[in-house]
Chain A
Amino acid sequence: MPRKTHRYGMVIDVDRCIGCGACMIACAAENNVAPAPAGANERKGITPVRIERVTSGDEARFLPVLCMQCEHETPCVSVCPQQAVEVDRESGIVFQMPQRCLGCRYCMTACPYHARYFNWWDPSWPAGMESTLNPGVAPRMRGVVEKCNFCHARLQAAQDKAAGSGKQEIDAADYVPACVEACPTKAITFGDLADAASDVVRASRDGRAFRLLPKLGTEPKVYYRSELGWVRELAERGGGSPEGGKA
């Protein structure tokens, strides 16, 4: 019997996010992101989740930005010349295959959310730190692109566990990405957008939920939520602001 198809996605409650960066750290640790070498700057580092600070007058909010897992006309998938990016039919997750990546960076140019990162250096860890690496995730070599894949290794582990117990489907509690798990304010709700009864569907249908650059028509599966109208307006509008991050 074929497995059920899912549409994994998340809703980030901007009003709850305190910009602590725990999600970034957890992501780097889970996915074996190497420490930035001495020559790196903020534009050459690898941060599959990054925190953007936005302000309006005296108010400030933080927007964690990661791969939006676009569902429609996924910009990075159609441009890759050698099919190193694809949308997994079972999970809806947009995958990057570093083993097949040529490092042409066309996908990075195509992504409007700047959620793709190039490995400008070979990954290396300080002596002794290799023992802390996650054995379930292969480090990426120099010269290839990477991005958030909703901690796919955790999905595989959950599927293995389900298969070991003779189940067709995973237990939702077994698949939680590292950033969701690490958030101290529980600002991120993760789940299957195809499951009408899930928390993530409820949160995404909340009237205060919104997505980044919705008019591009890429249908991101990452939603945000805020009570503040200016945050929603800022996220949905494109084109930057001369002072960057200010509404």
Chain B
Amino acid sequence: MADAAFVPMTAVAKPLRDRRLITRGLDRCSLPVFSAWLAPWFVMLAVGLYATYLALRFGLNQTNMDNRFAFGLWIFLDLGVIALGAGAFFSGFLLYIMKLRELQAVINTAVILGFVCYSGAIAVLLVDVGQPLRAWFTFWHPNVHSMLTEVTFCISCYLAVLTLEYLPIVLKNRRLKQNASFLVFEWELHRLVPLLAGIGTLLSFFHQGSLGGLYGVLRGRPFAYRAGLGIWPTTFFLFILSAMAVGPSFLLLVLSAVEGITGKKLVAADVKMTLGKISGWLLIPYVLLKSVDTLVWLHSTSRQAGFRPWEYYCWKPFGFWVLLAEIVVCGFVPAILLIRRATRSRPWMLVLSAALACTGVLLNRFVLTIQTLALPTLAFDKFMVYYPNWQEFAVFGAVVAYAVIVYSLSYRYLPLFPQEKELNRVSRS
């Protein structure tokens, strides 16, 4: 130890300078500016971690959930981020299976978004259950009839797939690339990516669908219950389609936000338009099928269960406006705007349409998770009201902060955008 003290530090290893971690040729802000950007997100994360500690240490009595509102903000968050994170599997499917090479420009961002959305959702699920240490019971005593079993298996496996897809991106870091074994490992992983994309697509189909099935099978909740094909309620298929439709839109929104914040062009305009076009053409069948499903439910499924469907909408604030907002304003309108070249070629219109599409799918998840529980089932029930408390919002905020931090670090230290150098060279010249 005494000898080691006399060895000059430079002889052991070069000091890890921030600039040496950034990919050559990429322009990034200074470390103090970057630290100032991250600071508020770390504060948000710390508050959320404290709220998580309270929930784990003292129990879920720390939340405003109760026996009637057994699911709350956190389940809405899970369903929401998993739908938005669908860009990862769908972009991978289009790029590696359908050979839509244009998406190479956004695939890294799609994978990172998927990774943070799924890991964030799983972390929140572990806080949301009463006995997190028993999470493995689902693998040990699985009930094959439960949609939640399917969700648990598929999202756990898919997170592993996303981790394997994220790893080659991390290993492209300038510093890590200097290690030959990392390079070999990255190359080997890269060869697996098309296979992983295929597995990810299969897993995603099942868990996106099962998340819809989670509510669609609830015979005891006629507001959510849907008839279907075989064991799958219609919500199973609608969730898959809506996630596929909204995934590219969310990717588009994030790319636009990153470009706005960094002041750089990261992706060519035609790639963004392609994302918008994909979203639009998938939103069309989704909203059409959703409309048919709603009519069948209103006129048949719900009545058979002894419920008068118009009564669902007499409880304020959930009037018919929710249905109109979801299907028309945030469904048909963005779909039409996105499929028309004239509208999607305007950047602000493209972003607005993508935002509307994402809002529509989030509203759909909100309706199924929150409105379902608020509505009475028994004739002597009352309409239930639930407001999340600060702990619930703080955990929600922590997931957002975690996502921003992981993405910011990835943007700074990893070569995410293959077109970045060229686009910014062009714009500077």
Q: Which residues of A contact B (CB under 8 A)?
A: 37, 39-41, 43-45, 52, 54, 63, 65, 73, 75, 78-84, 100-106, 108-114, 116-122, 141-145, 212-218, 234-242, 244-247
Interface of A is mostly: loop
Interface residues of B in 185-239 (CB under 8 A from A): 214, 217-222
What 1/0 mask marks residues of chain B from 126 to 166 whose CB sits below 8 Å from any chain A CB? 00111100110110111101111100100000000000000
Residue of A nearest to B311 (CB): A239
Known: A79-B148, A82-B137, A82-B140. A105 touches B382 (CB 8 A): no
B380 lies within 8 A of A120 (CB): no
Some 5 contacts from A to B, beta carbons below 8 A apart, are A81-B143, A82-B134, A118-B60, A119-B130, A240-B377
A114 vs B68: C-alpha distance when bound (angstroms): 7
A109 lies within 8 A of B70 (CB): yes
B61 lies within 8 A of A120 (CB): yes
Known: A101-B130, A143-B129, A143-B131. A121 touches B61 (CB 8 A): yes
CB of B285 closer than 8 Å to a CB of A: no
CB of B316, distance to nearest CB on chain A (Å): 10
B219 lies within 8 A of A217 (CB): yes
Residue of B nearest to A214 (CB): B306
CB of B378 closer than 8 Å to a CB of A: yes
A39 vs B141: C-alpha distance when bound (angstroms): 34
CB of A145, distance to nearest CB on chain B (Å): 8
Residues of A within 8 A of B21 (CB): none
B379 lies within 8 A of A238 (CB): yes
Residue of A nearest to B59 (CB): A142
Residues of A within 8 A of B143 (CB): 78, 80-83
Interface centre among A102, A106, A120 (most CB of B within 10 A): A102
Q: Which residues of B contact A (CB under 8 A)?
A: 59-61, 66-71, 128-131, 134-135, 137-138, 140-143, 145-149, 152, 214, 217-222, 304-308, 311-312, 314-315, 372-373, 375-383
A113 vs B140: C-alpha distance when bound (angstroms): 30
Residues of B within 8 A of A52 (CB): 378, 380
Partner of B70, one of A45, A118, A241: A118
- 3 nearest interchain CB pairs? A103-B130, A240-B376, A143-B130
A240 lies within 8 A of B381 (CB): yes
Partner of A216, one of B145, B147, B306: B306
Known: A43-B66, A105-B71, A215-B304. A241 touches B380 (CB 8 A): yes
Known: A102-B134, A143-B59. A108 touches B67 (CB 8 A): yes
A102 lies within 8 A of B131 (CB): yes
A114 vs B71: C-alpha distance when bound (angstroms): 13
B382 lies within 8 A of A104 (CB): no
Partner of B217, one of A79, A84, A117, A141: A79
Interface of B is mostly: loop
Partner of B61, one of A44, A104, A113, A242: A44
Residues of B within 8 A of A108 (CB): 67, 70
B378 lies within 8 A of A212 (CB): yes
CB of B213, distance to nearest CB on chain A (Å): 10
Partner of B147, one of A40, A54, A79, A237: A79
Residue of A nearest to B139 (CB): A82
Residues of A within 8 A of B307 (CB): 238-239
A112 vs B379: C-alpha distance when bound (angstroms): 11
A145 vs B71: C-alpha distance when bound (angstroms): 13
A185 vs B152: C-alpha distance when bound (angstroms): 48
A120 lies within 8 A of B378 (CB): no
Partner of B67, one of A39, A104, A112, A117: A117
Residue of B nearest to A52 (CB): B380
Residues of B within 8 A of A41 (CB): 66
A60 vs B219: C-alpha distance when bound (angstroms): 30
Known: A100-B141, A118-B130. A109 touches B306 (CB 8 A): no
Residues of B within 8 A of A114 (CB): 67-68, 377-378, 381
A236 vs B416: C-alpha distance when bound (angstroms): 59
Partner of B221, one of A73, A112, A143: A112
A104 lies within 8 A of B148 (CB): yes
A29 vs B404: C-alpha distance when bound (angstroms): 51
A234 vs B379: C-alpha distance when bound (angstroms): 6
Residues of B within 8 A of A237 (CB): 306, 379
A216 lies within 8 A of B220 (CB): yes
A41 vs B145: C-alpha distance when bound (angstroms): 34
Contacts A244-B380, A245-B380 supplied; 6 other A-B pairs, CB < 8 Å: A81-B143, A104-B130, A114-B377, A117-B67, A142-B59, A234-B379
A50 vs B137: C-alpha distance when bound (angstroms): 31
Partner of B377, one of A100, A144, A238, A246: A238
Residues of B within 8 A of A54 (CB): 380
Known: A144-B130, A144-B131, A216-B306. A113 touches B378 (CB 8 A): yes
Residue of A nearest to B224 (CB): A109
B217 lies within 8 A of A78 (CB): yes
Residue of B nearest to A243 (CB): B382
CB of A84, distance to nearest CB on chain B (Å): 8
A216 vs B372: C-alpha distance when bound (angstroms): 16
CB of B320, distance to nearest CB on chain A (Å): 16
Residues of A within 8 A of B383 (CB): 240, 242
A143 vs B132: C-alpha distance when bound (angstroms): 9
CB of B146, distance to nearest CB on chain A (Å): 5
A44 vs B70: C-alpha distance when bound (angstroms): 10
A242 lies within 8 A of B130 (CB): no
A235 vs B378: C-alpha distance when bound (angstroms): 7
CB of B3, distance to nearest CB on chain A (Å): 55
Residues of B within 8 A of A215 (CB): 304-306
A63 vs B378: C-alpha distance when bound (angstroms): 12
A54 vs B264: C-alpha distance when bound (angstroms): 65
CB of B114, distance to nearest CB on chain A (Å): 23
A102 lies within 8 A of B306 (CB): no
CB of B145, distance to nearest CB on chain A (Å): 5
Residues of A within 8 A of B221 (CB): 109-110, 112
A39 vs B63: C-alpha distance when bound (angstroms): 11
A238 lies within 8 A of B306 (CB): yes
Residue of B nearest to A43 (CB): B66
A218 lies within 8 A of B220 (CB): yes
A105 vs B60: C-alpha distance when bound (angstroms): 12
A75 vs B146: C-alpha distance when bound (angstroms): 11
